[in-house]
């Protein structure tokens, strides 16, 4: 691992865990040569890089130094690599944000489509609230999932870099003298015909230039039946060579045939830290109960309450 990559990973952990500004977190991280040094230096040396005259580049408050010390002792795992600790940190943050999003929901925040309520025969307050809460949560989680998955891919290899923004690719890996370009999608049902045709041309451009290029799906199997996989077979030449799905992608990126298993274990441990023995479903159920009570306090009970609500919003 390069020193620059180590600084990005450590800075990312500090940014996520302690809400340091990105550049400030990276500047602090640049004061350490490796993960072992960061974990072992005395608390008095948790000040980041020093100037030529021996003064700290950053002015950290005592409480910030204390937070950094607690991060080392209570949140980071010395038995895991810096990359694994980074994955755990961003996973805890992702899970925390979803819990906070659900807990912040209230009746006014639900964007209810009265026509949908009618056509789907939703006729009690609990049915209406349950449907809306689950739909809103799913939409929010799916929206934020893309960036999170890209970070998981980036952290899974010491030999991967984010592709130049103007290339429109997600990642670039160099193996030997050849560049390998990656475009990451969540699952094997996330692309339509136009998107596949677009990326078929992009892949062909890279191959013609002497590089390799692939579409990567973070879960699933090539043998699965899906619209996207069917379209890939039709519109992407040599699709089986140009598409990596599920553990095939994770092995390619990491070089480890069991990386997908280790990754799932890291994600599970991060979830336990945030949700303990419950799950996101428990949070959804609590939100439904709370917002249903809010709804009934304002509009009453039963089908008439739903009708009253619809008359108000339509």
DSSP string, 244-281: EETHHHHHHHHS-TTHHHHHHHHHHHHHHHHHTTS-HH
For residue 26, pLDDT beyond 90: yes
Continuous segment of H or E residues that includes residue 86? helix 82-103
Give domain status of residue 298, yes or no: yes
The verdict on 165 and 250 lying in the same domain is yes
Is the CB of residue 107 less than 8 Å from the CB of residue 291? Answer: yes
The verdict on 150 and 165 lying in the same domain is no
Give domain status of residue 10, yes or no: yes
Domain with residue 191: its CATH number is: 3.40.1560.10
pLDDT tens digits, residue range 76-106? 999 999 999 999 999 999 999 999 999 999 9
Domain carrying residue 36? 3-76
Give domain status of residue 293, yes or no: yes
Residue 91's φ and ψ, nearest 5 degrees, are -75, -40
- b/e map 144-164, b = 16+ CB within 10 Å: eeeebbbbbbbbbbeebeebe
Give domain status of residue 268, yes or no: no
pLDDT tens digits, residue range 123-149? 999 999 999 999 999 999 999 998 999
pLDDT tens digits, residue range 228-280? 999 999 999 999 999 999 999 999 999 999 999 999 999 999 999 999 988 99
Measured CA to CA, the distance from residue 286 to residue 292 in angstroms comes to: 10
Structurally, the chain folds into a number of domains equal to 3
Measured CA to CA, the distance from residue 189 to residue 260 in angstroms comes to: 20
């Amino acid at each position: 691992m390069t020193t620059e990559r180590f600084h990005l990973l450590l800075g990312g952990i500090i940014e996520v865990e302690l809400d340091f500004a990105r550049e400030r977190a990276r500047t602090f991280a640049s004061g350490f040569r490796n993960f072992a040094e960061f974990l072992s230096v005395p608390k008095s040396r948790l000040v980041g890089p020093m100037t030529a005259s021996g003064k700290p580049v950053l002015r950290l408050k005592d409480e910030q130094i204390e937070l950094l010390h607690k991060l080392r002792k209570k949140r980071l795992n010395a038995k895991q690599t810096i990359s694994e600790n980074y994955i755990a940190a961003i996973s805890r943050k992702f899970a925390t944000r979803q819990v906070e999003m659900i807990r912040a929901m209230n009746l006014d925040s639900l964007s209810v489509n009265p026509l949908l309520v009618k056509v789907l025969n939703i006729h009690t307050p609990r049915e209406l609230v349950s449907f809306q809460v689950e739909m809103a949560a799913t939409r929010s989680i799916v929206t934020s999932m893309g960036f999170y998955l890209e970070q998981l891919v980036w952290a899974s290899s010491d030999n991967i870099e984010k592709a130049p923004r103007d290339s429109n690719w997600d990642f670039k890996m160099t193996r030997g003298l050849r560049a390998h370009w990656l475009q990451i999608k969540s699952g094997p049902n996330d692309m339509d015909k136009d998107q596949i045709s677009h990326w078929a041309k992009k892949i062909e451009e890279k191959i013609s230039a002497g590089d390799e290029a692939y579409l990567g799906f973070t879960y699933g199997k090539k043998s699965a039946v899906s619209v996207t996989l069917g379209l890939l077979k039709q519109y992407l030449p040599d699709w089986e060579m140009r598409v990596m799905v599920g553990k095939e992608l994770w092995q390619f990126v990491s070089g480890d045939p069991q990386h997908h298993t280790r990754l799932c274990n890291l994600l599970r441990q991060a979830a336990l830290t945030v949700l303990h023995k419950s799950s996101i479903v428990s949070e959804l159920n609590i939100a439904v109960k709370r917002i249903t009570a809010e709804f009934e306090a304002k509009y009453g009970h039963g089908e008439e309450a739903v009708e009253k609500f619809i008359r108000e919003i339509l």
